[in-house]
Structure 1
Amino acid sequence: MFVQQLEPVADSLTLSALIATLPLLTVLALLGGVRMRAHYAGPIGLAVAVLVACLPYGMPLGQTLSSGAQGVLFGLFPIMWIVVNALWVYRMTVRTDHFDVLRRSFGRLSDDPRVQALVIAFCFGALLEALAGFGAPVAICAVMLVALGFDPVRAAVVALVANTAPVAFGAMATPVVTLAQVTGLPLESVASVVGRQTPLLALVVPLLLVVLVDGRRGLRETWVPALACGTAFAVAQFAVSNYLSVQLADIAAALVGAAALVAVPAARRPAEEPVRAAVLTGVRSDDLDHVDPRPEVLRAYAPYALIVAISHRPDRPGQGPVTATRTVNWPFLDVANPDVKPVSGNLFALPLLATGGTLVLFAGIATAAVLRVAARDALGEWAATVRELRHAILTVTSVLALAYVMNLSGQAATIGHFVAAAGAGLAFLSPVLGWFGVAVSGSDTSANALFGALQVTAARESGLSPDLLAAANSSGGVLGKMISPQNLTIACAAVGLKGQEGDLLRKVLPWSLGLLLLMCLIVVAQSSFLLGWMLP
């Protein structure tokens, strides 16, 4: 048995914490300083984590490698298994031109560019985030807005800022699932708290989007549909994440938000020409005037309906059928915490069937049939999806392996005990840590893997709620996505602004910091009597 140590370096918590941060500092320095690609930085950081675990912490090499292998397996299944199959569904809609049908359908909902921004960047962007994530919503929504006549810079800014509230439940709730796994907290408890934080952002972001599109005039003239959209989105995200299904939280929120938006009479009124002239300064796509047959429009919406129908299953015990999950003793791993009690990492739970990725795979097979994609072509698209995501797969698996090595060797516990000295200030700093992790890595999943266990340890040492600080890591992290180098590059490439990432950063950074401050205040209030009643 390997027993974790909190102060392995000179019996000093401070020195031990400095050594324990080396893997994290390595990854952050390579990404932010050297500007190395994430799929190179991740494995290098993993190597540093292995050295720290084996040398100062004294973890046997076999157990160190075994803990890393468990992280790799979790990264592949269920995390990337979800992402691959979700993106595969989207690729089939592009292959059959049904994605263009969907884009034209959205363009006809309203000719007001402020409402179009809400429908496409906020609602449809949330749907894409729910299915694929990893930069896809920013790229796709920015291109759609440019096709409607938006200036490329404005389209990129709107797409980046809109990609906030749905991120924590993106890619079929991959970030929250990862957070629960690395912290050992129940998925339903973590998701429940996240579902009481990010909906508050959803109330604000639509109002902010109409300001970005048309300034004060946009807010004055379209605040009613924006507020209706944000409120419906927030209520649906809260209700579904807390009482129905974590995986369906963003899908339901996006659909309910869009329905509420188009139901408001003000959203359907034709926009005045001065508004259109001021906002639509780009080149409008000619194919927007093409009228698609109703059956093709229904087929364009079918993939998302199939995912909702097939993925619908309650996550809470007693509310649905028993799912096949196999729990095994992880080989070559026997770890105890400093109190000599076995840690949860000694066991590994493997869902055999009813995992998000498998359900989306079934939805993808049904989608191929509905869209009339031949079996050979569908398999080819699936293989192409894996090739497209190969770097993301390497990044996610290496970062999760790093997180598992740090957690099981005791490095994360050491950092958590050291950070706990901040006391009550942790509630304010917790979202900042998640924001910083996503700003550097570009992924809420990666930030949760890196800092989730640290947040929980610090919370327990300081007397705060572990669920609250773990959730705050993810909720704060969503606000760092708009300034991450990866997302800025994706946005610039999508709208033809290559090389202008710095200009785009200066435009979105103030909004990122402002929303982060709001989230910090929310978490502080939830840790006190002010909003403590919000927590489950």
Structure 2
Amino acid sequence: MFTQNFTAVGGSLGLTALVALIPILYFFWALAIKRMKGHIAGLTTLLVALIVAVVAYKMPAGMAVMSATQGAIYGVLPIGWIIITSVFLYKLTVKTGQFDIIRYSVLSITEDRRLQVLLVAFSFGAFLEGAAGFGAPVAIAAALLVGLGFNPLMAAGLALVANTAPVAFGAIGIPVIGMSGPTALPAGEISKAIARQLPVLAVFVPFYVIFIMAGFKKMMEVLPAILVSGLSFAITQYVAAYYLGPELPDIFASLVSLIALAVFLKFWKPKNIFKFSTEAQAAVTATAPKAAVQEEHYTGAQIFRAWSPFIILTAMISIWGVPAIKTALVGAYAGTNPMLKALNALGHALTFAPGVPLINGKILNGAHQPIAATYNLQILGAAGTAILISAIISKFVIGISWKNWGVTFGETLKELAYPILTIASVVAFAYVANSSGMVTAMGMTLAKTGAILFPFFSPFLGWLGVFITGSDTSANLLFGNLQKVTATSIHMNPLLALAANASGGGVGKMISPQSIAVACAAVGLTGKESDLLRFTLKHSILFVIAFGIITFLQNTVLSFMIPMP
């Protein structure tokens, strides 16, 4: 047995938390300063974390290694599986020439790069976040932007920044629902509290992504479109989160935003069409002749066929997210519907959860309760499987032979070998940090900042949790109860602390090593993870500071905004 000790170093919580920073600081040094390739940085960070866990936290070496295997397997399934199938689906559209038609259809709405980012990275990416979560939104949105002609680094960076607004309600509300359990507060009440924070970010993000890609002056040129995109998303997200709960805010908000902006652009055009300086026809006026790619004319049927893989993807992911189907896919359905019972039997046969040797039930947390540790292999229930089925159906729609379909899948696996190794290693590091007690020690230290400072630092807990684990759900499970207990002890509204954890986690996603690896894999920047981290780091820090200020104000002069539970 191993009991997590949060004062393992010199009997001091502060020193113990400081030592826990060593793997994180090393990772930043390896990527941002030393500019190591992602898989080298990930593997060496894992090694540093194992040494810290064994030497400083006195975790038995065998337990630390088995914890790393649990994380590595989770990094492959479901996370790596999503990346493989997402990139594969995109490559099918490129190989068959369908992406040329997709590019044409987007350009027929607008040739302006600024507005394409709002349509693809912000609205469509938010829909994928709400339906599937994990790495699918960033992978698919970034790949689409590259296909439209964006620089790969810019595409990946913008997709990560744009993805911050929907994260808290991602994957059909799982981050909020997951937080409800350990905190014993209703998911609907937590959802209402987040609705008083997150829409502020949702209005701001469209402004921000355009600003960082084009500058203030170019941002103001498309101010009407930004307002339509951001306000329609934020208002819908608020209404859905406040009145319907955590499951549907992203789905509704993204669809309303996408449709509203597309319709608006039928009646309004920017004075100048913005393109990057590297493009041949930069900043041509809207009244000038259309680009050559639009001189082609495709029928509605051709455009529908080209988009069909992503339409099928949207349908499949939505089906996978329906609660009853979701439980059946993992063999946990207890109802009487005969079709779902049959699906449940298949899901049960394809779901495996063996205990992790040496550590399952053998690690005690701070409350001396055993922590379950399993290899959670949900083959049918994984979102990546839904995407693979979409690729199989799309094969018949876009007309590619089984031979070329298989060759493309093999090419995808070969291209993503190092990115998957990167993801597996950084998730393994996250699991070692969790099981050894490193993450909790850092969280407890932040919670000691006191009644005045804690409201400001509350979002930083979620930010830290998502940076390490790569998941807002994991960060909420990890720090949700700590947030509640600390808030109650300092007479802070616990719902505000939980909302801050979820919102802060959302902006931590853009610097999470998992997210960085996923985005680089999707746009062909394997080995350039350091460049992407340097792109997103300053934006993530700015956002979490802003949430700290918002939370501080909502705890003091704006306390009326968050009703007490």
TM-score range, shorter chain: 0.7 to 0.9
Please give the alpha-carbon distance, in whole angstroms, between the structure 2 residues aligned to 1:159 and 1:338: 39
**Unpaired segments ≥5 residues, structure 1:** 147-151
Query: Is 1:269 aligned to residue 268 of structure 2?
Result: yes
Return the letter of the residue paired with 1:289: E
Match of residue 82 from structure 1 = 82
CA distance in 1, matches of 2:113, 2:54: 57
What SS does the aligned partner of 1:373 have? coil
1:283 corresponds in structure 2 to 280
**Structure 2 equivalent of residue 459 of structure 1:** 483
Alpha-carbon offset, residue 66 of structure 1: 1.6
CA contact (8 A) 1:236 1:253 kept: yes
TM-score of the two chains, using structure 2 as the length reference: 0.73
Distance 1:81 1:195 in 2: 32
Residues of 1 paired with 2:278 and 2:367: CA distance? 65
1:333-387 deviation line (CA, Å, top 9, x unaligned): 11112332112x3345443422312222211211122111222222222222222
Change (3 A) 1:117 1:396: closer
2 CA distance for matches of 1:278 and 1:25?
Answer: 38
Asked if the contact 1:185/1:467 (under 8 Å) is kept, the reply is: no
Q: Deviation of residue 104 (structure 1)? A: 0.8
- The residue number in structure 2 matching 1:402 is 429
| Distance in 1 (alpha carbons) for counterparts of 2:171 and 2:436 | 24
Alignment pair present for 1:429 and 2:457: yes
Query: Is 1:226 equivalent to 2:226 in the alignment?
Result: yes
Write the letter of the residue equivalent to 1:419.
L
- Residue 32 of structure 2 aligns with which residue? 32
Which residue of the partner structure matches residue 351 of structure 1? Answer: 378
Work out the percentage of aligned pairs sharing the same amino acid: 27
Local SS of the residue matching 1:21: helix
Aligned to 1:141: 145
Give the Å deviation of 1:450.
Answer: 9.9
Deviation at 1:62, TM superposition (A): 2.3
Cα distance between partner residues in 2 of 1:42 and 1:182: 28
- Any conservation in 2 of the 1:13–1:414 contact (CA below 8 Å)? yes
Give the SS at the match of 2:435: helix
Look up the match of 1:149: none
The 1:25/1:414 distance shift into structure 2, 3 A limit, reads same
User: CA 1:519/1:385 → structure 2, altered by over 3 Å: closer, same or farther?
Assistant: farther
Shift of 1:430: 4.7
What is the distance in 2 between the residues matched to 1:89 and 1:166?
Answer: 20
Contact 2:187 2:246 in 1 (8 A): no
Residue deviations 1:490-511, cap 9 Å, x none? 99999xxx9xx79x96xx8886
CA contact (8 A) 2:462 2:504 kept: yes
**Of the candidates 306, 314, 337, which is equivalent to residue 308 of structure 1?**
314
Give 2:4's aligned residue: 4
Indicate the residue corresponding to 2:284 in structure 1.
Answer: none
Please report the TM-score for the alignment, with normalisation by the length of structure 1.
Answer: 0.76
1:174-323 matched pairs, under 5 angstroms: 192=191, 197-208=197-208, 213=214, 215=216, 219=220, 222-235=222-235, 253-264=253-264, 267-272=266-271, 275-276=272-273, 282-284=279-281, 286-313=292-319, 322-323=328-329
Q: CA deviation at 1:173?
A: 5.1
| Counterpart in the other structure of 2:339 | none
> Distance in 2 between the 1:271 and 1:277 partners?
9
Structure 1 residue 101, shift from structure 2 partner: 0.7
CA distance in 2 between counterparts of 1:526 and 1:358 reads: 42
Cα gap change, 1:224 to 1:287, in 2 (>3 Å): closer
- Matching residue within 518, 524, 531 for 2:546: 518
- 1:420 pairs, out of 412, 423, 447, with 447
Q: 1:168 to 1:30 in 2, by over 3 A?
A: farther
Matched residue, 2:559: 530
* Distance change in 2, residues 1:525/1:245 (3 Å): same
Query: 1: distance between equivalents of 2:102 and 2:411?
Result: 22
Instruction: Please tell me whether the aligned partners of residues 38 and 517 of structure 2 are also in contact (alpha carbons under 8 angstroms).
Output: no
Instruction: Give the CA RMSD over aligned residues.
Output: 4.7
2:336 corresponding residue in structure 1: none
Question: Counterpart amino acid of 1:459?
Answer: Q
The AA in structure 2 aligned to 1:335 is I
How far did residue 216 of structure 1 move?
Answer: 5.2
